Amino acid sequence: MITGSIVAMATPMKAGGEIDWEALRRLVNFHLDHGTDAIVAAGTTGEPTTMSFAEHFDVIRTVVEEVNGRIPVIAGTGANNTAEAVELARYASEVGADCCLSVAPYYNKPTQEGLYQHFKAVAEASELPIILYNVPGRTCSDIYNETVFRLAELERIVGLKDATGNLERAEELIDRLEGSDFALYSGDDPTACDFMLMGGHGDISVTANVAPQSMHDLCVAATSGQREKAHQINARLAPLHTALGIESNPIPVKWALNRMGYAETGIRLPLTWLSERYHGNVGEALQLAGIDRK
């Protein structure tokens, strides 16, 4: 089971929007050097929805190559087309990823039975373990807890990234799945500390892009039940959790990475660079978290 601080890694791009492969490799090593426990390549924060298939494949392959087995790599392989999700999962297996992160199909608005059959088809076609990803605020598609419990019975479905921020739902998941090998990850940084203190196994984190060591330390404290220490670390990071959501992810985190010297000013439409009125908010949150310019 993968545990701890799992960065939902941004994809560095040049000012014109081309993927910056050299910067991508540098960013991987930044995480390897600062405590990140696993990397999600081409997840939501990595902007896969604006990538060609070839680019999506190459981001996953490049991250796997640069990590070189030192920590797990989770490939973002979700799609609202089941056949496409299957193809992405197969490719992730071919290039050596350790796991797939598969988001609930967006825009189509499937039923709960449709969600079950979609993930079942992906799992049956995949050589890799599958982590479900529930983020209804983005997808308009909510994997209900009862559907998660059904899916958890399938051999290759091994976990859930719960980005609802709803701790009551999380508590039910944790209670019902306690003692199983099914992993439960927060996908919502502001509530991740409490999620893990309730029994969650880690955090698939946006904040970890810019504060990898602190997020690692937070996850270690929270998953081992060190409540006071976890809350102390989280209090220092709380303004950053908030600031990195001030505009749509990954807009603020890409601005922060640029300020830190890890990325140029590239982002792809329909997303745009961080509005100038928010530069102070994100910059101050970085300072409060002890993060300076490179």
CATH number at residue 97: 3.20.20.70
The pLDDT assigned to 293 comes to 65
**Partners of 7 in the β-ladder:** 39, 205
- Annotated active-site residue 120? The verdict is no
The pLDDT assigned to 294 comes to 56
78 in the Ramachandran plot: left (φ > 0), alpha (ψ -120 to 50) or beta? beta
The pLDDT assigned to 64 comes to 98
Task: Convert the pLDDT of each residue in 97-127 to its tens digit.
Answer: 999 999 999 999 999 999 999 999 999 999 9
Domain-embedded: residue 260: no
In order of 131, 158, 176, 188, 270, the CA distances from 152 in angstroms are: 10, 7, 11, 21, 35
**Which pTM does this prediction carry?**
0.96
Domain-embedded: residue 268: no
Amino acid at 143: I
Residues of the chain with pLDDT under 70: 293-294
Mean pLDDT, the chain, rounded, equals 97
Helical pair 279-288 and 251-260, crossing angle rounded to 10 deg: 60
Domain-embedded: residue 196: yes
Domain of residue 81: give its range.
4-223
d(CA 93, CA 108): 26
Which burial class, exposed, middle or buried, applies to 293 when counting CB atoms under 10 A from its CB (0-12, 13-18, 19+)?
exposed
Residue 97 contacts residue 126 (beta carbons within 8 Å) = no
Domain-embedded: residue 256: no
d(CA 105, CA 66): 30
Domain-embedded: residue 189: yes
The pLDDT assigned to 292 comes to 72
Task: Convert the pLDDT of each residue in 226-259 to its tens digit.
Answer: 999 999 999 999 999 999 999 999 999 999 999 9
d(CA 100, CA 93): 9
Domain-embedded: residue 273: no
Who's near 116: CB < 8 A, 6+ residues apart? 147, 150, 151
Of 14, 107, 109, 133, which is the active-site residue?
A: 133
Q: Is 204 annotated as a binding residue?
A: yes
Structurally, how many domains does the chain consist of? 1
- Annotated active-site residue 116? The verdict is no
Who's near 111: CB < 8 A, 6+ residues apart? none
Domain-embedded: residue 111: yes
Q: Is 233 annotated as a binding residue?
A: no
Amino acid at 210: V
In order of 30, 154, 236, 271, 286, the CA distances from 260 in angstroms are: 11, 42, 18, 20, 9
Per DSSP (E only), the strands in 135-190 are 157-162, 183-186
Q: How much is the CA Rg of the chain, to the nearest whole Å?
A: 18
| Helices and strands of the chain, counted as H and E runs | 12, 8
Of 14, 106, 144, 161, which is the active-site residue?
A: 161
Domain-embedded: residue 90: yes
